Amino acid sequence: MTKKNYLASTIWWRDWRLMASLAVLTGWLGWAFWRLAPRGYLLTAPRALPHYHRWAYRRLAYSDIVALYHTHHLYLHLVPYLQNRIEYPVMMGILMWLTSFAPGIMGYFTANAVIIWLSGVGSLLLLRKLVPNTYQWFAWTPLLLVYGLLNWDIIGIFLMILGWDLYLRKRYTWAAGVLSIAVFFKFFPVFILPFILVELYRDKRFRTITNMVAVFFVVSMIINLPFALTNFNNWSFFFSFNASRGVGADLWANHWVHALPVAVVDVASFVVVTSGVVWQSRRIWKGNTVISATARLFALFLIVNKVFSPQYMLWMMAFAILADWPPPAYTWLTFGGIVDYLNSMTILYLIKIHSSTLKWYGDRLFPLGLLMRYIGLAVAGLLGIRSTLPEKVTAPAHPPINAAG
């Protein structure tokens, strides 16, 4: 490490780029909080809000955090998965339940916003250590304004980055535990797991593989088993809900391609993603990094998956930054994500109010918005692939040791 980098990593308050990034991140999330904070009748209505979605879509101010407070009756403080069916992994359901004890919907929203902000700060600090040249893009992207408080994704991103950092520091037991928590918070960290195993196997770290798999399994059981044994149907709803979801407005259903049957899309997506795992595993075997493989695979997944929620672009940004893609890639991801947000909110509002312009917008402009989404993803992915290191490197990420290591 150079003297300059060493000073930047230790005397953080003298690092202008870090301080500016923290200020920008706080600004984006503060602005998002002001835009999305419940107002008027939202503060007093104790039951379902029939007009919330119309209100939120029209103002480009929708948040799952607010909507689910009423949809899942969180104000009743029902125990998640035992008394309340939630379509998210267990750790997120527990967080929703715990924050619901804050006073009223405003207290609940504020508590979640603070936790998300702290997770954003933690993610930025970890990224600064892992990718010191490009970490600031996580804070600078306006995607934080539109997606930062739309859902709880930033918390999952922080847990994923923390687990990856622990792995790089060879804290394998802790890494496995944190990654298990991350997976059962937002599931997307699962994309990094097969490539970690490939790298460890390549480096003949068989005992490490055994320990990590065991810890991941034990932590997963601790998280899930109490709910699975008590109310299996509620616990498994996350899996059954996602398996039964229809084809969204994406690659498989748009102005140019008529919606294909869900079963066909599921099989096609599975085949493509599985092929991507095999392809990237071969590249790791030849010397590529785990995180570069994960970023490529996740981009492929977003393109072929049957459902694309706009906030997934935040995950793509995080994986791209960890993989050290070039800055133009982040610009393209931001462009695709912002266009997708505006496009999604507009079509949802037109549907909600049964607008006479829905057909015109759906036929003329909505497909162009989808195209911009995929162009942003595709161009960013191509830039990322071009920027990666050659397949053959002088030494593996972990020096090979004997099988007992």
Query: Which tens digit of pLDDT belongs to each residue from 329-346?
Result: 999 999 999 999 999 999
Residues in CB range of 8: below 8 A, 6 or more apart:
15, 18, 132
Q: Please work out, in degrees rounded to the nearest 5, the angle formed at the alpha carbon of residue 139 by the alpha carbons of 112 and 39.
A: 35
Residue 403 lies in a domain: no
C-alpha to C-alpha distance for 98 and 74, rounded to whole angstroms = 9
Q: Please work out, in degrees rounded to the nearest 5, the angle formed at the alpha carbon of residue 317 by the alpha carbons of 26 and 396.
A: 120
C-alpha to C-alpha distance for 138 and 284, rounded to whole angstroms = 26
The pLDDT score that the predictor gives to residue 398 is: 46
The pLDDT score that the predictor gives to residue 41 is: 67
CA dihedral angle for residue 85, residue 87, residue 89, residue 90, rounded to 10 degrees: -10
Band of pLDDT at residue 260, cut at 50, 70 and 90: confident
Residue 393 lies in a domain: no
Residue 311 lies in a domain: yes
Residue 166 lies in a domain: yes
Residue with tokens 């008590």: 230
Residues in CB range of 68: below 8 A, 6 or more apart:
74, 96
C-alpha to C-alpha distance for 219 and 201, rounded to whole angstroms = 22
Whether the per-residue pLDDT at 369 is higher than 70: the answer is yes
C-alpha to C-alpha distance for 278 and 396, rounded to whole angstroms = 19
Please choose, from the candidates 154, 109, 140, 172, the residue with its C-alpha nearest in 3D space to the C-alpha of residue 18.
Answer: 140
Residue 263 lies in a domain: yes
Q: What is the pTM of this model?
A: 0.91
Query: Which tens digit of pLDDT belongs to each residue from 186-220?
Result: 999 999 999 999 999 999 999 999 999 999 999 99
User: How much is the mean pLDDT over the chain?
Assistant: 88
- The single-letter DSSP state of residue 259 is P
The pLDDT score that the predictor gives to residue 208 is: 96
Tell me the residue type at 27: G
Residue 405 lies in a domain: no
Band of pLDDT at residue 401, cut at 50, 70 and 90: very low
Answer yes or no: are the C-beta atoms of 221 and 76 closer than 8 Å: no
Greater confidence, 254 or 29? 29
Whether the per-residue pLDDT at 5 is higher than 90: the answer is no
- For residue 288, give its domain range: 3-387
C-alpha to C-alpha distance for 329 and 307, rounded to whole angstroms = 23
User: In terms of residues, how long is the chain?
Assistant: 405
State the average pLDDT over residues 46-51. 64
Domain count, the chain: 1
Alpha carbon 107 to chain centroid, angstroms: 25
Query: Which tens digit of pLDDT belongs to each residue from 91-133?
Result: 999 999 999 999 988 999 999 999 999 999 999 999 999 999 9
| Three-class SS state of 282 | helix
Residue 394 lies in a domain: no
193: its two tokens: 């797991």
Query: Which tens digit of pLDDT belongs to each residue from 278-303?
Result: 999 999 999 889 999 999 999 999 99
C-alpha to C-alpha distance for 374 and 368, rounded to whole angstroms = 10
Report the interhelical angle of 193-202 vs 206-230 (nearest 10°).
150
Per cent of the chain over pLDDT 90 is 72
The pLDDT score that the predictor gives to residue 363 is: 87
C-alpha to C-alpha distance for 150 and 307, rounded to whole angstroms = 17
Residues in CB range of 265: below 8 A, 6 or more apart:
247, 252, 306
The pLDDT score that the predictor gives to residue 242 is: 85
Per cent of the chain over pLDDT 70 is 89
Whether the per-residue pLDDT at 399 is higher than 50: the answer is no
Whether the per-residue pLDDT at 2 is higher than 60: the answer is no
